[in-house]
């Protein structure tokens, strides 16, 4: 059975997104600054152009063995309430997932098949059911909780995450969505697997006991 993982960029003060998410600021105001270390990398550009540094193998490992993704509705788009079915995600015709993606929502919607192997399935029956369906789709491969902060919190609080990586950017946001918050009374016990310092970021990998 594959692992359940997540990886996410956070500010030094622990925010995974800035405040006021909207069409112009998909990660909230200032949220893009959490990813500045990523944009110059060849592994990000997809064209082979760009830098290779200590972040390169870390980023490559993130996509190495993923068989399904889970994300919250607020990561899929800025809309709330009933679906605007013209919205097909932030990522254009060929989203960067290339697996089934299970979107947690309170509003039913037919599956949405995109190019490149990404199909969005909209699930309304909670995080455990979504994980069961993701496991079935993933087979022996790993399941990536793609985000956002609230979805990750729910899986962490439920004890359903095996391993996770925080990419700590040298940025203070002051407000926004704090990642490691709302975890309830029985906090996960974690151990540090390794740390990688890279230009403009440090990658911290943890295993949940």
Q: Binding residues for a copy of itself, per CB under 8 A?
A: 12-14, 166, 168, 170-174, 180-181, 183, 185, 187-192, 194-197, 200-202, 204, 206
Show Cβ contacts of residue 164 under 8 Å, excluding neighbours closer than 6 positions. 5, 6, 7, 8, 152, 156, 205, 206, 208
Specify the residue, 111 or 174, whose C-beta has the smaller distance to a copy of itself: 174
Is the distance from CB of 164 to CB of 184 less than 8 angstroms? no
Farthest CA pair distance, the chain? 47
What is the rounded distance in angstroms from the CA atom of residue 97 to the CA atom of residue 50?
21
Specify the residue, 130 or 166, whose C-beta has the smaller distance to a copy of itself: 166
Specify the residue, 47 or 192, whose C-beta has the smaller distance to a copy of itself: 192
Task: Give least dist CB 7 to a copy of itself, A.
Answer: 14
Specify the residue, 118 or 153, whose C-beta has the smaller distance to a copy of itself: 153
Q: Are strands 112-113 and 119-123 parallel, antiparallel or unpaired?
A: antiparallel
Task: Give least dist CB 20 to a copy of itself, A.
Answer: 15
Task: Give least dist CB 201 to a copy of itself, A.
Answer: 7
Task: Give least dist CB 194 to a copy of itself, A.
Answer: 6
Is the distance from CB of 180 to CB of 145 less than 8 angstroms? no
* Separation in Å, CA 53 to CA 13, 27, 57, 208: 25, 25, 8, 28
Specify the residue, 42 or 198, whose C-beta has the smaller distance to a copy of itself: 198
Task: Give least dist CB 58 to a copy of itself, A.
Answer: 12
Expressed in percent and rounded to 5, the helix, strand and coil fractions of the chain are 20, 30, 45
């Amino acid at each position: 059975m594959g692992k359940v993982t997540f990886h996410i960029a956070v500010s030094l003060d622990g925010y995974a997104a800035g405040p006021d998410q909207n069409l112009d600021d998909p990660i909230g105001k200032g949220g893009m600054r959490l990813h500045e270390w990523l944009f110059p990398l060849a592994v990000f550009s997809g064209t082979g152009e760009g830098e290779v540094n200590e972040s390169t193998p870390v980023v490559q490992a993130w996509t190495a063995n993923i068989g399904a993704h889970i994300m919250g509705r607020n990561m899929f788009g800025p809309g709330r309430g009933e679906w605007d079915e013209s919205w097909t995600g932030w990522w254009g015709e060929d989203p960067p997932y290339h697996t089934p993606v299970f979107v947690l929502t309170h509003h039913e919607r037919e599956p949405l098949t995109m190019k490149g192997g990404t199909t969005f399935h909209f699930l309304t029956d909670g995080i455990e059911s979504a994980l069961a369906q993701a496991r079935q789709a993933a087979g022996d491969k790993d399941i990536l909780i793609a985000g956002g902060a609230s979805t990750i919190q729910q899986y962490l609080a439920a004890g359903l995450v095996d391993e996770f990586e925080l990419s700590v950017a040298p940025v203070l946001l002051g407000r926004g969505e704090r990642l490691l918050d709302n975890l309830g009374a029985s906090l996960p016990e974690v151990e540090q697997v390794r740390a990688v310092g890279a230009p403009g970021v440090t990658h911290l990998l943890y295993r949940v006991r």
